[in-house]
Amino acid sequence: MEKLKVIVYAISKNEEQFVERWVKSMSEADEIYVLDTGSTDNTVASLTNHGVHVTTEIINPWRFDIARNKSLELVPNDTDICVCTDLDEIFEPGWREKLEKAWTSNTTRARYNYNWSLDENNIPLVNFYIEKIHKRHGYKWTHPVHEVLTYEAAENFITLDNITLNHYPDKTKSRSSYLPLLELSVTEQPNDDRNVHYLGREYMYYGKYNEAIDTLIKHLSLKTATWKDERCASMRFIARCYKNLNRYEEAKMWLEKAMVEAPYLRDPFVERALLAYLEEDWDGVIKYSLKALDIKVHPKSYINETFSFNGTVEDLLSYAFYKEGNIEKAIQWADRSLEINPDNTRLKNNKKIFLTL
């Protein structure tokens, strides 16, 4: 196997707490380059002490794509494989050997497993493919936020299911810059369906429900918005906004659209069951929960909702059957939910109550 030159590159700001763990994970590379964008803690000193090549530059006004591109410029021109990560991410060991074994002279980019969210037992909650390993030349980062790699020609991907990157974020870190940067991104490229979707979602997170609805409807109207998973998510988010505005009939209408758009995804069926729960419509809870459970496949997509496969559906069924007086099925579904969440005290207490009836 030909030995290739593998370089990790990243951006950082005030991430001293992650440095030692991150460098240990990335040390399978030949070298590590970091662009620090203005840390006021000991990030730079710690990285330097661990043998990382660090350059400091303030990006003003801030944009993720500019920072990423400047960090990529630090990577030597004779590099064969560039690996972009963030300091709150770590690879499972052995990634470099697996990468070299699969990489060919024609490869331009690799996709691999990304555990965006893990529980306290390190079990993945949200898992999808990420694509931030690439050849040195021809790539650049675009978009002020939710930046993506773009290539000057046709790409040749390899998919590496045996490489996994885990994400352990600082949950106290502010994401307040995301909304204005998304607004800027959509102003710059108003027909970019991906970032119009992201902007609508961000408005929803901020409780700007009417802005979210308008933006997500715009996403659905774009000719390039053809990915059904994302279209389904926009419809679900519109429904979620209407639910928060106490306009349940419109929420139901959009969830019905979402179910039709992507009938292979659990998410719209579970959201419909959750809406039925709020209305104390126990028949509806049972109907849509069972439809959700008919869907067995859990696609590797960032759009997946954790509530679709984490025992929520079984929990809903248990409670709905209890409210309908079917205690046998209430216990049956409580057991199913406990199989997924064996330490959940509330579920245990529910079962105890059911057993006394």
DSSP-assigned letters across all residues of 172-202: TS--TTHHHHHHHHHHH-TT-HHHHHHHHHH
pLDDT given at position 125:
86
Task: Tell me the HSE value of 18 on the side-chain side, using a 13 A CA sphere.
Answer: 21
Q: How far apart are CA 351 and CA 357, in angstroms?
A: 10
Alpha carbon separation from 298 to 126, 164, 275, 276, 316 (Å, rounded): 10, 17, 22, 23, 19
Per run of 10 residues, the mean pLDDT along the chain (length 357 residues) is 90 97 98 98 98 97 97 98 98 97 96 92 90 98 96 96 95 84 96 97 97 98 97 98 98 98 97 98 98 93 89 96 96 95 92 90
Domain 6-167: CATH superfamily, name plus number: Spore Coat Polysaccharide Biosynthesis Protein SpsA; Chain A (3.90.550.10)
CB 355 within 8 Å of CB 331: yes
Report the pLDDT value the prediction gives residue 21, as an integer from 0 to 100.
Answer: 97
Alpha carbons within 13 A on the beta-carbon side of 349: 3
Q: By the 8 A CB rule, do 297 and 264 touch?
A: yes
Sequence ranges of the domains in the chain: 6-167, 178-294, 310-357
> What pLDDT score does 173 carry?
79
Domain 178-294, what architecture?
Alpha Horseshoe (1.25)
pTM for this entry: 0.91
Measured distance CA(316)–CA(321) in Å, rounded: 9
Q: Which residues contact 135 (CB under 8 A, 6 or more apart)?
A: 80, 81, 82, 107, 108, 109
* Dihedral in degrees, nearest 10, Cα atoms 215, 219, 221, 227: -160
Length of the chain (residues): 357
According to DSSP, the β-strands at 139-142 and 53-56 are unpaired
DSSP per residue, 302-336: TT--GGGSSSHHHHHHHHHHHHTT-HHHHHHHHHH
CA dist., res. 149 & res. 164, Å (int): 19
